Amino acid sequence: MKRFHIVLLAVFFFLAISALVIIQLQWISSVVSAEDQQFRFSINEALKEVVTELEKTETYNRIMSEINPAEAAAPSDESISLTAQESAAARLLEKYGFDPDTRSVIINRAGRTYVLNSESLEQESFFDDTESEEQTLTVGAATRMTNKIISIENIVSRILHETPPLRDRFTADELNALIRRSLNDVGIHIDYECAVRGDYGGLIYRTANYSESSGSNKYLRQMFPNDPVPGNNILTIYFPGEEQYKFSHITFMAVSSMLIVLLLILLATGTFIVIFRQKKISEIRSDFINNMTHELKTPIATISLASQMLADETIPEGSRKTPELALVINEESTRLKVLVEKVLQTAIFEKARIELNKKQTDVHSVILKAVDAFKLQVNGRGGTISTFLDAPDPEVVIDEQNFFNVILNLIDNALKYTVGTPEITLTTSGYHKGVVITVSDNGIGIPREHLKHIFEKFYRVPAGNTHNIKGFGLGLSYVKTIIEEHHGTIRVESQVSKGTKIIIHLPNRQPK
Ligand code: ADP
């Protein structure tokens, strides 16, 4: 898959996720506005109920006080319950034969019940369990009936024409009980604060924590709207926990869906990072193989040419230059060895764990062997490679082959990253139960900001490329892996244009 295709895939994926997020946000906002509307609607219904009930209760109380001022319930601090209303109605029916439900007057005479409708004065039989024949009232009875209706209408008319002051028309307990009941009826069970204002905005009543400057939505309703001359009586109510209450239902859904989207984004990002990394590895691997086969060709060709010359009998013995040809073969075979080792080293990155064959070894002999392998090359560039092996106890438990590769890699880097005449120095010294090995050069050095990355797999200092030095960024990563497998540590000191020093601490004994 080409890089472009992966990028395209990633772009489409993130576009799709963005579209999903936008749709989700829109969905959340529409749910929020629906919740808001539902809340407003419920509050409206509850307030309508409060105002209607308040008016009804007042009417009953007023009728009662007109009929029997002594028995009339003075505005008490108790809310009017349904039974109180029922008993008021019962008293009306008992005393005056007036049924507030049917708005009719009921008269019992000679075992018969007559129902008189106030609008039409029409008589009809009612509750008659013997026979349901039409009953005709005498003219006298009709007159008495009319008088009764007139007396009731007088009561009603007084109620209509006399409006008491607002503060006498309800009590705080009555109002609060009504509000609570109406809110419960519409399924709203949160705390509220309310206030009542009369004409000219005068405050008649407010709950203890009511605040004019509260940030919550305020809901207003006119009280006693059916007064003949309706006053400017306003009931204001608000809910301090309104926002929390409204959105408590959707918070869980919104948060969990957003978390899922976030998880999706993280998973996708992780997947694309892995894809890119794998792609880079496979590119590097094929680059590596191409370069390696190319580099292998040169020493093989040189060796074959030199050996041909040695074997060529047509060339007289004296002019064959045997020692020089042998030197060339030796030099080129060392180069081959290093190259082959590099190919083998890359194999360690394929395996989860490297199998090491650790044995008691004299580390100085391994270092000297590696130095020998490079002597010709260093001398060929007019440089020197010196050793100061002063460690008092050079016996270490190591995998000789891999440790040899480590030193080869370090010397190879020292040579590679030195532009002028190479001065390479290898030293050993002792430390508590271990050996310190250093490899230093007078090369191009490593800028400070790259120092902490050079042991990472595939990491190459960009300046290395400007010097056109070939490499894959695998050498030091291999070195670090092997040193750590030996329970040692590795670090670097470097100064640009001055040189680089690699310092290894290796314990004499491996922990069990
Ligand atoms: P490479 O194959 O590129 O040499 P390494 O892992 O061996 O990979 O080294 C990583 C990078 O560290 C190199 O690309 C180089 O820039 C820097 N580096 C390593 N050794 C030296 C050194 N002795 N002097 C300067 N730079 C070095």
For strand 384-389 and strand 423-431, is the pairing parallel, antiparallel, or unpaired? parallel
For ligand 1, whether the C-beta of 464 sits within 6 Å is yes
Q: How far apart are CA 299 and CA 376, in angstroms?
A: 15
Give the distance (Å) from ligand 1 centre to CA of residue 302: 27
Phi/psi of residue 501, nearest 5 degrees:
-130, 125
Ligand 1 atom showing the smallest separation from residue 414 Cα: 23
DSSP string for 243-300: HHHHHHHHHHHHHHHHHHHHHHHHHHHHHHHHHHHHHHHHHHHHHHHHHHHHHHHHHH
For strand 423-431 and strand 489-495, is the pairing parallel, antiparallel, or unpaired? unpaired
Give the distance (Å) from ligand 1 centre to CA of residue 146: 119
For ligand 1, whether the C-beta of 471 sits within 6 Å is yes
Model pLDDT, residue 96: 63
For ligand 1, whether the C-beta of 461 sits within 6 Å is yes
Distances (CA, A) of 350 to 285, 299, 477: 11, 27, 13
Give the distance (Å) from ligand 1 centre to CA of residue 421: 18
Give the distance (Å) from ligand 1 centre to CA of residue 471: 8
Q: Determine the residue of 348, 385, 413, 477 to mutate for testing ligand 1's pocket, defined as the one with the most ligand atoms within 8 A of the Cβ atom.
A: 413
Q: Coil, strand or helix: which one is 440?
A: strand
Ligand 1 atom showing the smallest separation from residue 460 Cα: 14
Q: Which residues contact 242 (CB under 8 A, 6 or more apart)?
A: 39, 190, 216, 217
Model pLDDT, residue 199: 80
Give the distance (Å) from ligand 1 centre to CA of residue 416: 8
Please count the other Cβ atoms lying within 10 Å of the Cβ belonging to residue 170. 24
- How much is the pTM? 0.50
Q: How far apart are CA 190 and CA 68, in angstroms?
A: 40
For ligand 1, whether the C-beta of 477 sits within 6 Å is yes
Question: What is the DSSP-derived secondary structure letter of residue 221?
Answer: E
Q: Which residues contact 278 (CB under 8 A, 6 or more apart)?
A: none
Residue with tokens 């007084």: 158
Q: How far apart are CA 217 and CA 439, in angstroms?
A: 76
Give the distance (Å) from ligand 1 centre to CA of residue 412: 9
Closest C-alpha among 100, 84, 88 to residue 64: 88
Q: Determine the residue of 449, 476, 498 to mutate for testing ligand 1's pocket, defined as the one with the most ligand atoms within 8 A of the Cβ atom.
A: 476
Give the distance (Å) from ligand 1 centre to CA of residue 470: 10
Q: How far apart are CA 159 and CA 301, in angstroms?
A: 125
DSSP string for 24-61: HHHHHHHHHHHHHHHHHHHHHHHHHHHHHHHHHHHHHH
Model pLDDT, residue 105: 67
Q: Determine the residue of 295, 454, 497 to mutate for testing ligand 1's pocket, defined as the one with the most ligand atoms within 8 A of the Cβ atom.
A: 454
Closest C-alpha among 71, 346, 42, 317 to residue 179: 42
User: Which residue is closest in CA terms to ligand 1's atom 21?
Assistant: 413
Q: pLDDT for 404-448, tens place per residue?
A: 989 999 999 999 999 999 999 999 999 888 999 999 999 999 999
Model pLDDT, residue 123: 44
Residues with pLDDT less than 50, the chain:
72-82, 120, 122-134, 464
For ligand 1, whether the C-beta of 417 sits within 6 Å is yes
Give the distance (Å) from ligand 1 centre to CA of residue 498: 15
Residue with tokens 């995998």: 399
For ligand 1, whether the C-beta of 446 sits within 6 Å is yes
Give the distance (Å) from ligand 1 centre to CA of residue 343: 17
For ligand 1, whether the C-beta of 474 sits within 6 Å is yes
Give the distance (Å) from ligand 1 centre to CA of residue 472: 9
User: Which residue is closest in CA terms to ligand 1's atom 20?
Assistant: 413
Model pLDDT, residue 81: 47
Q: How far apart are CA 114 and CA 85, in angstroms?
A: 25
Give the distance (Å) from ligand 1 centre to CA of residue 469: 9
User: Which residue is closest in CA terms to ligand 1's atom 19?
Assistant: 413
